[in-house]
Amino acid sequence: MAISCPSIFGSEMLPIESGDMSPPPSPLILTQDELKKIAAYKAVEFVQSGMVLGLGTGSTAKHAVDRIADLLHQGKLMNIIGIPTSKKTHQQAVSLGIPLSDLDSHPIVDLAIDGADEVDSNLNLVKGRGGSLLREKMIESACKKFIVIVDESKLVPHVGASGAMPVEVVPFCWKFTQDRLQGLFDYAGCVAKLRSNNGGEDGEIFVTDNGNYIVDLFFKKDVGDLKIASDAILRLAGVVEHGMFLDMATTVIVAEVEGSLRNFVRILLGEMV
């Protein structure tokens, strides 16, 4: 699968060549998790000693955090400070011995590495299907560089094409806020649903690390201008943050299978790193 990149972005396709991430000698289609690991390892190549790092959340970002810890233990990276984007990532980093801090102590982050639920051709993202969108956006908006790591299944023609666009809301009168969110996007066939832990109508309500709820917006059509949509959502009282990450990613690394089943990492660049 491939997407076209506008001319303002660079793009390069790199075969996987080094170390334990080399492709197997015989043609083999890798699993989705293996592709995620490839993208994560490629992203960690941009990490340098002395950096303050935003540590992402989710199945792809987990591989990056593991790799950073490995390099620290090997002495190939030194003086790294991590700022985790969720309680889960905090626990992972502590268990791996990665030194941690927060934005209060380090308001400028050198580099963040995180996954995404969707990436469009302008490198706009949907994040938050794992529930950590607020802390992710706070940390990743404070970054000099933000590298997004995905497998090819996350590439979409437009934001909201593959599933939920999450919105974090305060618990107070959440149904009122949910109805207003759905009404904003009637033109796009929007259906708004409160997230539950098991995905069912009668399940326990999902609560974020910040004690809030998430309303998932499902669109039947393209919502159009994303900045207008973003502003409209954020103007609603009761909304904390949404999962559209616009004009934030400087680099997107996509692990994919191309041609004769050889595995490649495609790097889409918002700016050269």
Active site residues: 136
Q: What is the CA radius of gyration of the chain?
A: 19
Phi, psi of 229 (to 5 degrees): -60, -45
Cα(124)–Cα(148) distance, integer angstroms: 10
Contacts of 135 (CB under 8 A, 6+ apart): 57, 84, 85, 86, 209, 210
Contacts of 62 (CB under 8 A, 6+ apart): 40, 89, 92
- Alpha-carbon torsion (67, 68, 71, 72), positive or negative: negative
Asked if 61 contacts 114 with a C-beta cutoff of 8 angstroms, the reply is yes
Contacts of 86 (CB under 8 A, 6+ apart): 57, 130, 131, 132, 135, 136, 209
Cα(166)–Cα(126) distance, integer angstroms: 8
- Residue matched to tokens 């699993």: 31
